[in-house]
A and B are shown apart, each in its own frame.
Chain A
Amino acid sequence: MELYKLTITQAHQGLLKKEFSAVELTKAFLNRIKKTDKEISAFLTITEDLAVSQAKKVDNLISTSGKISVLAGIPIAVKDNILIKGIKTTCASKILENYIAPYDATVIKKLNELGAVIIGKTNLDEFAMGASTEHSGFFPTKNPYDLTRVPGGSSGGSAAAVAKNLCCCALGSDTGGSIRQPASFCGVIGLKPTYGTVSRYGLVAFASSLDQIGPITKTAEDAKILFEAISGKDPKDSTSVELAETRSLSTDRERVSDRAPSLKIGVPKEYFIKGIDPGVKKIIKGAVEKIEKLGAKIKEISLPHTKYALSAYYLIATSEASANLARYDGIRYGLSKSENKDLLDVYLQSKTKGFGDEVKRRIMLGTYSLSAGYYQAFYLKAQKVRTLIRKDFEKAFQKIDVIFAPVSPTPAFKIGEKIDDPLLMYLSDIFTVSANLVGLPALSVPAGFAGDLPVGLQIIGRPFEENKILEVGKIYAP
């Protein structure tokens, strides 16, 4: 049996039935990483010792009590902007190249308590700023479906690792599409939860009003398992939400194929603009037809401020980033450089040598839009446009249950294709940023292939209706 091909649910069954041990399962993935990760470069760190010792604990538990949680012994990869105590957390940045996390992120604490096995840290665009993983400070990750193409980003390492069966499932983070777009490019499932459902404690901050941690998996059922494991109110993140509140708003546990006739699907006309790849358009149309055949009602909707979402997003995200990244000052942790004398020199040398071009560009953009004379015209204006975008969605959701849209205008693009044109790279995020601005849950599910390249369908739900969008996702990836 090829253990590395198993989903969470299948691996759990195998462990319960003692078809294999947790150590065997973990080693199957570790061996596969050693043999094949050199083809795609998904991992920055392999946590072999940690993984094997955790797997041994799970095996002991199975032999003594026979009872384990559904995630016990399951090998998980973690994006390298999430802190694991005693393990390097680099954010794929030279400025944190040797940084060892002093504590666990809340999501890691939760996974540890459930007995999950963390097998390594995955590559990303530096500080999660990018759409291709080419902006990693160390090396780019390649798309398992075509090694000349990007895996998407910023959680490109996590998505590529799941697609290549280097882990059973993975954690990513999504600030403007960083879980959904790589999931689409790599043919796996990616969920960006409602803002506040997953604690951000121990996630290295990029844009605090937009960042969320979420699962990247092989099936919608697995995404649900991992999402439920990491969600919940955390006293260490004041913007996180009570679990009870989350659940009571979405008790939809029926099989969606049975109740598809009662579903109303909104298809926003602004998401099928000029410039969208014909292959992508065809696949999304096909996905709409599939659910229509099951009896769902399809309604064309309008989200009229969509064309302003990308500008609003980049103004807000870079502004928040410029404040968040001020902490890398060469004083308390991380890279520290100075040629001489004064404190200013430490700041200048450390940041200049430690940050890559994209991070510098975004810090400068944010600094600009927050600076005197531009705050009103840029930052504040963007936050007002954000209100208009939110109202578009509120109005639409009065008449429909979920929204169907593309994740990205194109399938995976070539390595090097957009790297020298930052604006072109930003345009890759055009369909994903709105969900972050508004805080809505959104899912990417594999819906078909354009040539040899996978294409994801984006399903956007009302706040806290993760269960509903996951149930709808099961129609496409059980």
Chain B
Amino acid sequence: MIKKEEVQHIAKLSRIKLSQQELKRFQGDLSSILDYFNSLKEVDVSEIEPTFHPAEYFFGKSLGKMRKDKAESQPSEVVNKLIEAAPDKKKRHISVKAIF
């Protein structure tokens, strides 16, 4: 059984607030699911490499050709819509609350 404090800690890392009732429910849910996951313990993987992505074996080790990590200009129509979508903005800037 996963401890209540652990559930609280994961919730905090996930940026989710849990009420006392939710905490109890999620503790039960996560415990039974993690118990099920524990069946993986019986598998011997000592000589086995991980497969992080199907593309690794379809095309060898890399994800095919990756594009250069550089910004590409977008049509102003799309840019305007992206800014419009922000809940809190000042002119063409998105406002963010203070960190502290």
Residues on A facing B (Cβ under 8 Å): 99-100, 102-103, 195-196, 209, 235, 238-239, 241, 305, 307-308, 310-312, 314-315, 322, 326, 329-336, 338, 341-349, 351-352, 355, 360-361, 363-365, 367-369, 371, 377-378, 380-388, 390, 422-423, 426, 437-439, 463
Contact = CB atoms under 8 A, between A and B. Distances in A.
B73 interface: no
Contacts of B10: 364, 367-368, 371
B33 A365 contact: yes
Contacts of A322: 14
B71 interface: no
Interface in B50-85: 50-55, 57-58, 63-67, 78, 81-82, 85
Contact of B29 (A377, A387, A422): A422
B58 A196 contact: yes
Given A348-B17, A367-B10, A331 B86 contact: yes
B1 interface: no
6 contacts: A307-B39, A331-B87, A342-B100, A352-B17, A423-B33, A439-B58
Contacts of A344: 15, 99
Nearest to B67: A238
Nearest to A345: B97
Contacts of B64: 238-239, 241
Q: Chain B interface residue count: which class?
A: 35 or more
Query: Nearest 7 pairs between A and B by C-beta?
Result: A439-B54, A383-B50, A336-B87, A102-B81, A384-B45, A333-B85, A195-B54
A331 B99 contact: no
B50 A380 contact: yes
A283 B15 CA distance: 46
Given A103-B78, A322-B14, A384-B48, A312 B54 contact: no
B16 A364 contact: yes
B5 to A, nearest CB: 13
Contacts of A438: 54
B50 to A, nearest CB: 3
Contacts of B16: 348, 351-352, 355, 360, 363-364
A463 B56 CA distance: 13
Nearest to B35: A423
A347 B15 CA distance: 6
B26 A361 contact: yes
Contacts of B66: 238
Contacts of A349: 17
Contacts of A342: 97-100
A344 B97 CA distance: 9
Given A331-B96, A333-B86, A364-B14, A387 B51 contact: yes
B53 A331 contact: no
A351 B13 CA distance: 12
B30 A364 contact: yes
A78 to B, nearest CB: 19
A363 B17 CA distance: 13
Contacts of B81: 100, 102-103
Nearest to A348: B17
B39 A311 contact: yes
Contact of B94 (A100, A308, A332): A332
B14 A363 contact: yes
B88 A336 contact: yes
Given A351-B16, A378-B37, A390-B57, 16 more contacts: A196-B55, A238-B66, A239-B64, A241-B58, A241-B64, A307-B39, A311-B39, A331-B87, A338-B97, A342-B99, A346-B97, A352-B16, A371-B13, A381-B40, A426-B33, A439-B58
Residue in B15, B40, B94 with the greatest tally of chain A CB atoms within 10 Å: B15
Nearest to B49: A387
A397 to B, nearest CB: 13
A371 B14 CA distance: 11
Contacts of A331: 86-88, 94, 96
B55 to A, nearest CB: 5
B18 to A, nearest CB: 8
Given A239-B55, A314-B33, A378-B37, A332 B86 contact: yes
A102 B58 contact: no
A103 B45 CA distance: 44
Contacts of B15: 326, 329, 344, 347-348, 351
A329 B16 CA distance: 11
Contacts of B13: 367, 371
Contacts of A368: 10, 30, 34
Contacts of B100: 342
Given A102-B78, A387-B49, A238 B43 contact: no
A241 B34 CA distance: 36
A413 B14 CA distance: 32
A338 B17 CA distance: 13
A388 B45 contact: yes
A105 B87 CA distance: 23
Given A343-B98, A363-B16, A364-B26, A381 B33 contact: no
Interface in B7-47: 7, 10-11, 13-17, 26, 29-30, 32-34, 36-37, 39-41, 43, 45
